[in-house]
């Protein structure tokens, strides 16, 4: 992916089995959803969130129901 802005950070999305459960963990531990989950590549859900220190992270889940 090309950077849209020179200050754009590199973010790696780590796989999860249950992205909904992880959203609950993020919010209950002081994190904030930066980009709500959205479908990618027709079989994945991806979301981005900030941890309590403001660092940006990503999570993804394969979802065969999206095919």
Tens of pLDDT, residues 1-22: 677 788 877 888 889 899 999 9
CATH architecture of 13-66: Roll (3.10)
Helix extents (H) in the chain: 19-28
- Percent of the chain topping pLDDT 90: 54
Do 53 and 37 contact (CB within 8 A), yes or no? no
**The tokens of 48 are what?**
């981005």
Please give the model's pTM, rounded to 2 decimal places.
0.78
How many residues are present in the chain?
67
Do 46 and 2 contact (CB within 8 A), yes or no? no
**The tokens of 61 are what?**
């889940």
Segments making up each domain of the chain, as ranges: 13-66
């Amino acid at each position: 992916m090309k950077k849209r802005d020179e200050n754009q950070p590199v973010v790696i999305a780590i796989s999860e089995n249950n992205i909904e459960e992880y959203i609950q963990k993020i919010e209950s531990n002081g994190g904030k959803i930066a980009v709500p989950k959205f479908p990618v590549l027709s079989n994945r859900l991806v979301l981005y969130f900030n941890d309590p220190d403001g660092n940006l992270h990503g999570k993804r889940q394969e979802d065969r129901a999206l095919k």
